[in-house]
């Protein structure tokens, strides 16, 4: 292929993206950043460049990040075992301190630094800043050996009661990219650990985001979990119960889809579940005719 042919191919790509750029200009998009894309340096840079391109063409991106694997690593380093109940980390006082240190002190600052190094204007926040996320202690009941429901103490795991998005809206209006850690404050003065998918969904609702993108370690919703080519490109809300009944939606995908449904019912335009392991997954989903993930509408 000659340099001229390569240039023409690049021009075609830009032309294909143009109507989407025009359509999304000025829209708010919330990106839940997590999974393998947070662990691999090349993928980190790919995601940040995607976010910067969105910002450069007039889209208003907001990042909400997780950090489970990094928290696990730090807990192991101090000799502390991670314990989970129904996918939720049991968070005692020491675990809460370590989670806050990893999420706010390490990961949030790393993401902000990377965005700024590439020429962006990023600002780091936790859900505790300006009372962005207010939470209460999350109640949970599980069946005991006798089949009775029993209250389980998850420690400092929170359930979001209120979102005050003013600080995020103010930053967006001033041309900044907000980067949010999933910690929340409570009226009792405590800090609470929040599931990152849930926090991102609640932020998307509060901002009435046009799109909510969930970066995961799977391609999206698959008809056959063993066949990556069986991707379902579009899922309608009313189809979800049947997909659960047919066991097309199973395991960890169920809470992600439930999170997506909550966001849609809260006023979000559409939710996209993407494979964050693919370089430039965000751009491929938003700016190409075919997309690469599952869009829930």
For residue 291, the model assigns a pLDDT of 87
Cα diameter, the chain: 73
CB neighbour burial string for 67-106, b if at least 16 within 10 angstroms, e if fewer: bbebbbebbeeeeeeeeeeeebbbbeeebbebbbebbbee
**Global confidence as pTM:** 0.93
**What percentage of residues in the chain have a pLDDT greater than 90?**
71
Specify the CATH class of 24-296 in words: alpha beta
For position 1, what pLDDT does the model report? 78
Mean pLDDT across the chain, nearest whole number?
Answer: 92
At 114-173, the pLDDT tens digits run 999 999 999 999 999 999 999 999 988 877 777 778 888 899 999 999 999 999 999 999
pLDDT grade, residue 229 (50/70/90)? confident
- pLDDT for the residue numbered 84: 85
- Higher local confidence (pLDDT), 86 or 260: 260
Q: Residue 238: its pLDDT value, please?
A: 93
For 61-115, the pLDDT digits (tens) are 999 999 988 999 999 999 998 888 877 888 999 999 999 999 999 999 999 999 9
Share of the chain above pLDDT 70, in %: 100
Question: What's residue 105's pLDDT?
Answer: 94
pLDDT of residue 5: 83
At 62 the three-state DSSP class reads: strand
pLDDT at position 226 is: 83
- Burial grade of 266 (CB within 10 A; 0-12, 13-18, 19 or more): middle
pLDDT for position 150: 81
Q: Is 64 helix (H, G, I), strand (E, B) or coil?
A: strand
Domain locations in the chain as residue ranges: 24-296
């Amino acid at each position: 292929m000659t340099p001229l042919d390569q240039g023409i191919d690049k021009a075609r790509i830009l032309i294909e993206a143009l109507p989407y750029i025009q359509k999304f200009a000025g829209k708010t998009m919330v990106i839940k950043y997590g999974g393998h894309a947070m662990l691999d340096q090349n993928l980190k840079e790919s995601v940040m460049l995607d976010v910067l391109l969105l910002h450069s063409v007039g889209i208003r991106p907001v990042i909400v990040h997780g950090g489970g694997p990094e928290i696990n690593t730090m807990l192991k380093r101090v000799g502390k075992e991670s314990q989970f109940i129904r996918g939720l980390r049991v968070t005692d006082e020491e675990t809460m301190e370590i989670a806050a240190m990893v999420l706010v002190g390490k990961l949030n600052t790393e993401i902000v630094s990377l965005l700024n190094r590439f020429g962006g204007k990023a600002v780091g926040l936790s859900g505790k800043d300006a009372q962005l996320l207010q939470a209460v202690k999350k109640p949970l009941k599980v069946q005991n050996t006798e089949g009775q429901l029993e209250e389980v103490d998850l420690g400092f795991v929170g359930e979001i009661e209120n979102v005050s998005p003013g600080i995020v809206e103010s930053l967006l209006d001033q041309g900044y990219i907000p980067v949010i850690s999933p910690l929340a404050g409570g009226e009792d003065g405590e800090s609470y650990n929040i599931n990152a998918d849930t926090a991102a969904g609640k932020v998307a609702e509060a901002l009435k985001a046009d799109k909510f993108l969930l970066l995961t370690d799977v391609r999206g919703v698959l008809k056959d979990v063993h066949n990556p080519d069986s991707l379902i490109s579009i899922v309608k809300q009313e189809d979800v119960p049947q997909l659960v009944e047919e066991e097309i939606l199973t395991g960890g995908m169920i809470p992600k889809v439930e999170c997506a449904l909550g966001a849609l019912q809260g006023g979000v335009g559409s939710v996209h579940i993407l494979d964050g392991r693919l370089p430039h997954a965000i751009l491929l989903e938003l700016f190409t005719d075919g997309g690469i993930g599952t869009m829930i509408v």
